[in-house]
Amino acid sequence: MTTQNPTPLPEPDPSAFTGDDARFIADFATLCTFGATPGGGVERQAGSAADGEQRHWFAGLLRDAGFEVVFDRIGNQFGLLELVPGAPYVVVGSHMDSQPTAGRYDGAYGVLAAAHAAFRLAEVYRSDAAAGRQPKYNIAVVNWFNEEGSRFQPSMMGSSVYTGKLDLETALATTDAQGVSVREALESVGCLGEGDGPRAAFAAEIHIEQGRSMERDGITIGVVDSNWAANKYEFIVHGEQSHTGSTIIEDRKDALLGASMLVLTAREIADRFPGALHTSVGHLNVYPNSPVVVASRVNLLLDLRSADEEILAEADALLHQRVSEIEQAAKVRIERRTGHSWPVTPYQIEGVELAEKAAADLGLSHGRVKTLAGHDSTNMKDLVPTVMLFVPSAEGISHNEHEYTRDEDLVAGLHMLTEVLGKLVEGALDES
């Protein structure tokens, strides 16, 4: 079985475009060089050197376009354009941080598209073309800190602090596997600022789909109308340290055996609800992790996701029933620490309809989709009316170096985001 696609990805190619579109693809090609991996992806986890480098490069890009660059107290990076003194902002963007050995598009595309959309609108409002177009809000391009949550948990950290869902001090004190705190990481790359960031009136984000539905349905723009519900747990399996060679099997209290049963259980539960439930364990640490010691402790993160809250509840009950059975079977104790959960929540229907009209006006094929993954916009939509857009992602591959979206889809998404952002800035959702 081959586990990697051996075909190199096409490089972003500005020569196929002209004017601003070519400049956008050229900037995206530059962005792909930060933390580039030999396998054609990127690795720039939150607060890493590569993350710092791309943030400083992005600051220069924003300043050159006349935007003021500020970092807030959790390292969110904003490029501010004041069009209406004192008015609140349309906050548009995504995140540049990545998973380890990740793809080029996840998050990064959305930040750069937001900047270029804002650059175009800045030009519009500056020029004669603005005669009939009057901004009512300011624009804040945003690069949220630590959306990925690979180095520092939880994910969506920057937007969670911004929206008041996560305590600032808790976030800053969070440490990575080497004991480095968020505060230290942000200071080391010069990205720890002050204050709460700009006040939002509306928000918008564009992202790759990370699923196959748009590719299957042949549509260019996905208008996200809701997210899947999710329950995320940290489990700690407690066993007892002993010698793997000499301890008789019936005396063993093997934390790794119990943890492995949990991993299998998660999959078995998903298999009961084909297509309707996603479960996974991506993170698991063994202590003391010595070849000749029965593990005394295993920490793991397990999540359950569904678009149907009843299925999620049923799956959750099954999981907790199985936890008790595993405790007996493996002679371990399983401690559950709730991570975070979210219900199925809709994006505001006015925003969905605005986006659908914009796509129609631009002649872009579109359809409503749901997001299975969490995004910063999942947080923002609980604060202000928010528009979430997708472009297709080849074969749904994501969190993988072979993640790929075609240049023409990137550019179509940029046009779409520019249209939506302009409408938001001009007050199209003022009644919502």
**From the annotation, which residues make up the binding site?**
95, 106, 148, 207, 399
Query: What are the residues whose beta carbons fall under 8 Å from the beta carbon of 58, sequence distance 6 or more?
Result: 31, 77, 79, 96, 111, 115, 143
Handedness of CA 365, 367, 373, 376 (dihedral sign): positive
φ, ψ for residue 315, nearest 5 deg: -65, -40
What is the smallest separation between the CB atom of 403 and a second copy, expressed in angstroms?
9
Residue entry with tokens 């929206």:
163
CA distance 190 to 367: 41
Residue entry with tokens 């747990």:
233
What is the smallest separation between the CB atom of 386 and a second copy, expressed in angstroms?
19
CA distance 129 to 126: 8
CA distance 112 to 103: 15
What is the smallest separation between the CB atom of 98 and a second copy, expressed in angstroms?
10
Give the nearer residue to a second copy in terms of CB position, either 138 or 150: 150
Give the nearer residue to a second copy in terms of CB position, either 61 or 277: 277
What is the smallest separation between the CB atom of 124 and a second copy, expressed in angstroms?
35
Residue entry with tokens 């993640």:
403
Residue of 145, 162, 166, 141 lying closest to 48 (CA atoms) = 145
What is the smallest separation between the CB atom of 280 and a second copy, expressed in angstroms?
4
Known binding residues for Zn(2+): 95, 106, 148, 207, 399
Give the nearer residue to a second copy in terms of CB position, either 85 or 179: 179
**In which order are the strands placed within the sheet that holds 77-81?**
68-71, 77-81, 138-144, 89-95, 200-208, 386-391, 221-227, 366-371
Give the nearer residue to a second copy in terms of CB position, either 369 or 411: 369
Give the nearer residue to a second copy in terms of CB position, either 30 or 241: 241
